[in-house]
Amino acid sequence: MTRVFARSLSRKKVMSNDGKVIGTLKNLRVDFDSGQVVEMLIHPDSSFDTSNYIMEDDKILKVSFEAVKDIKDYIVVDRYLARK
How does pLDDT run across 29-43, given as a tens digit for each residue?
999 999 899 999 999
Helix, strand, coil % over all residues of the chain, rounded to 5: 15, 45, 40
Neighbours of 57 (CB within 10 A): 5
Count CB atoms within 10 A of the CB of residue 1: 7
The dihedral over CA atoms of 13, 18, 19, 24, expressed in degrees to the nearest 10, equals: -20
What does the pLDDT read at residue 10? 82
**pTM of the prediction?**
0.87
